[in-house]
Amino acid sequence: MRPTLGINGISANTPVIAVDIPNKQGIKSHEWQRYIVTVDHLEQETGYDFLPNIPESIQTRLESQKATLNS
């Protein structure tokens, strides 16, 4: 990713992290990483299109990938 290029700096390899953290008591001790989901999941749950300005071929790949974090 090249931030100075704006949207033109985004590729199918740009990392995306989406999280769906419930708004409820008792999860404060949980690590946020347990709530990692795909952008597709969030779009389905919310009805929002989170990456509408990215070309469809790139958007499809980014939205379907679930982030993995290296410790």
17-34 pLDDT tens trace: 999 999 999 998 999 999
Domain coordinates in residue numbering, the chain:
3-64
* Nearest one of 62, 13, 20 to 44, comparing CA atoms: 20
36-51 pLDDT tens trace: 999 999 999 999 999 9
Would the pLDDT of 71 be above 60?
Answer: no
pTM of the entire structure? 0.83
In sequence order, the 6+-apart residues with CB closer than 8 A to the CB of 69 are 17, 33, 36
> Residue 2: its pLDDT value, please?
61
Distance CA 30, CA 1 (A): 30
